[in-house]
Amino acid sequence: MAEIILEMRHITKDFSGVKALDDVNLKIKKGEIHALCGENGAGKSTLMNVLSGVYPYGTYTGDIIYKGEKCEFNTIRSSEKKGIVIIHQELALIPALSVAENVFLGNENTTIKGVIDWDETDRKARDVLSTIGMGSEDLSQQVQNLGVGKQQLIEIAKALTKKVELLILDEPTAALNDEESNILLELMLNLKKQGITCIMISHKLNEVSRVADSITVIRDGHTIETIEKTDKAIEEDRIIKGMVGRELTNRYPDRNSKIGEVVFEVKNWMAYSPLDSKRKVINDVSLHVRRGEVVGFAGLMGAGRTELAMSLFGKAYGKNISGTMIKNGEELHLKSIKDAINHKIAYVSEDRKKYGLVLINDLKWNMSLSSLASRFSKHTVIDSNNEIHVTEEYRKKINIKANSIEQIVGSLSGGNQQKVVLAKWMLSEPDVLLLDEPTRGIDVGAKYEIYTVINSLADAGKAVIVISSEMPELLGICDRIYVINEGEIAGELHKNEFSQERIMKIIMNHIGREK
C-alpha cells in the first residue's frame, strides 16, 4: 500500500460566520498527482491556503499531518521549510526583475556577509531551469518579456530551489494555450517520476483525467468523494456528477435562435501595433453580426482575436485604425471607450481582475460602474435607491452567489466575479457585446450558467460576439464562427458546418497560403 505523505483531518474554516470549509478530510499518497475538483467557491483554494500557511494555524480547526507529524503552519515560509510549496493562480513574480532573480526570489544565494552571490545564482538558476526544459533561456532578461507559459515554468523552478516534496498548483494552465498546457502537464509527470507529490486544482477536466492518479471532489465546503484511477482514465462525466451533484448530460443549454437583421457591421478594418506603428496587426477584416445571433471568433493564440475586439471597442487597442463600422445602419466614428459605451457597445475583457473589476469595491459599485451617467444619476447626483434596487435585481437574475450586493468582489469565486462583469455590461443595456474568453478559469457548472446568460442576451435581440480558445465551447454556443489567423478572416462557418477539424483546416490552409 502506498505511503500517505499528507492527511488533513476535519478541517473547518469560517469567513465572517460563513463556513468555507466544513469538516473536510483529505489523504494524499506520496509520489502521486492528486487533483482537487469542484465548482467555483467550493473551497479548493481555501483548503490549500490552510495547508500552506496562508491561513495560519488558529484561524481554522482540524489537523494537518505531514509525513507522520502534526504540523501547525503560521506562514508560507514555515510550510516551505517542510518542503510544501504552493504556486497560486496569480503568479508571484516581479516583472522587472531578471529570470535568475525571480528563480531565487525570497531564497537568495548570499555570502557569509549577506551579499548576493550572482555567479552562484546564475549557475544554480541554469541548473534548475535545465531540469524543466528552459536551460537555454537568457537568465538576464526581464520576466515581463516572457509569455505566461514560461512564467509558469519559472514558478516551478522557484519551487524546485526550495527542495519541494509536495507541490501545490492552483489552476496552473488557466491562462495557457494548448501547447503550453501540454508542456506543463508533461513536466508534472516528470516531477512525479522524481518522487515529487503534486496537488493540482483545475477546472480543465480533460487535463485532470489525463494526469491525475486520484481526484478528490469538494462541493460547498465538504469533501464528497475521492476517485481513484484504475486501468482507464477517470471519465469527465464522472467528475462532473460529483462536482454538481447530478448528471450534466448536456454542457451547453438549448437555444432556439431567432436571428434578425444585421445590427453590427465592420468593413475593411485595419489596425497597427501600438508599439510598432509599421506592424499591421489587423488586416482588412470585414464581418457582420445579426440581431439575436451569437458569433464566435476562433483561432490559435496570437491570431489577433483580442486585438480585433479591443480595436472595435472605442480603439482600446492599436494605432492608425481605419475602416468602416456600422451599427443599426448608422456609420460610427468612435474615438474612445466612452464613445463605444455611449453607442451601446460593450466589451468583457479576458482579464477580469485587471480590466473588468475593481476588486476592493463591492458588487453594487462594480455592477453600476459603466451605467452611472446613463442610468443611475441625474445632473451628476446618483440615485442610490435605484442603484441598489437594480443591482440586487441583476444579482438574483444571473445567480451571483454572494451574501449581498455590499460584499467585496475580491472575496468572490472566479465564476461569480465573471458574472459581476457580465452584469456590469448588461446594466449598460448594450446592443452589441464583445465577450473575450467569458468562461476562462471557471468550473463546468458556472460555465453552464454563463452560457445561459449569453443565450438570454441573444434572445433579447442583442448581437453577441464570443472569443474563446476552447473550440468545443464555440461549437456548443455559436450560430456562426469566423476563423481568424494572423489578424485576418481566414474563413467563416455556419452552424451546419461546425467541426473542430474544419476550423483547424481553415487555419492551416491560411498559414500555408502564398504570401
What pLDDT, on the 0 to 100 scale, is given for residue 248?
61
158 and 272 co-located in one domain: no
230 and 298 co-located in one domain: no
Question: Are residues 260 and 460 in contact, defined by beta-carbon separation less than 8 angstroms?
Answer: no
Q: From the CA atom positions of the chain, what is the Rg in Å?
A: 24
Position 358 in a domain: yes
Residues 6+ apart with CB under 8 A from 497: none
Q: Is 80 exceeded by the pLDDT of residue 166?
A: yes
Q: Is 60 exceeded by the pLDDT of residue 182?
A: yes
Q: How many domains does the chain have?
A: 3
What pLDDT, on the 0 to 100 scale, is given for residue 168?
94
What pLDDT, on the 0 to 100 scale, is given for residue 35?
94
CATH number of the structural domain spanning residue 326: 3.40.50.300
Residues 6+ apart with CB under 8 A from 347: 309, 310, 312, 313, 316, 340, 425, 433, 434, 436
Position 423 in a domain: yes
422 and 443 co-located in one domain: no
Position 424 in a domain: yes
13 to 10, 60, 279: CA distances (angstroms): 10, 5, 52
Position 250 in a domain: no
49-53, 65-69, 311-315, 397-401: range with lowest mean pLDDT: 397-401
418 and 439 co-located in one domain: no
Helix (H, G, I), strand (E, B) or coil at 361: coil
84 and 201 co-located in one domain: yes
151 and 74 co-located in one domain: yes
pLDDT > 90: what percent of the chain? 55
Position 385 in a domain: yes
Q: Which three cell numbers stand for residue 349?
A: 475583457
Question: Count of CB atoms within 10 A of residue 316's CB?
Answer: 17
Helix (H, G, I), strand (E, B) or coil at 10: strand
Question: Are residues 439 and 414 in contact, defined by beta-carbon separation less than 8 angstroms?
Answer: no
16 and 65 co-located in one domain: yes
Question: Count of CB atoms within 10 A of residue 168's CB?
Answer: 26
Q: Is 60 exceeded by the pLDDT of residue 515?
A: no
Position 167 in a domain: yes
Question: Count of CB atoms within 10 A of residue 507's CB?
Answer: 20
Q: Is 60 exceeded by the pLDDT of residue 514?
A: no
Residues 87-127 have pLDDT tens digits of 887 788 999 999 999 999 888 888 888 898 899 999 999 99
Where is the domain boundary, 201, 217, 244? 244
Question: Are residues 153 and 102 in contact, defined by beta-carbon separation less than 8 angstroms?
Answer: no
What pLDDT, on the 0 to 100 scale, is given for residue 249?
61
71 and 181 co-located in one domain: yes
286 and 222 co-located in one domain: no
475 and 423 co-located in one domain: no
Position 254 in a domain: no
Instruction: Considering only residues 441 and 275, tell me which one the structure prediction assigns the higher pLDDT.
Output: 275
Position 251 in a domain: no
Where is the domain boundary, 375, 399, 429? 429
Residues 240-251 have pLDDT tens digits of 888 877 666 678
Q: Phi and psi at residue 357, in whole multiples of 5°?
A: -135, 155
CA dihedral 370, 375, 380, 386 (to 10 degrees): -110
What is the three-state SS of 34-58?
EEEECCCCCCHHHHHHHHHCCCCCC
Is the pTM higher than 0.75? The answer reads no
Question: Are residues 191 and 203 in contact, defined by beta-carbon separation less than 8 angstroms?
Answer: no
Domain that includes residue 142, residue range: 4-244
Where is the domain boundary, 387, 414, 429? 429
126 and 22 co-located in one domain: yes
215 and 164 co-located in one domain: yes
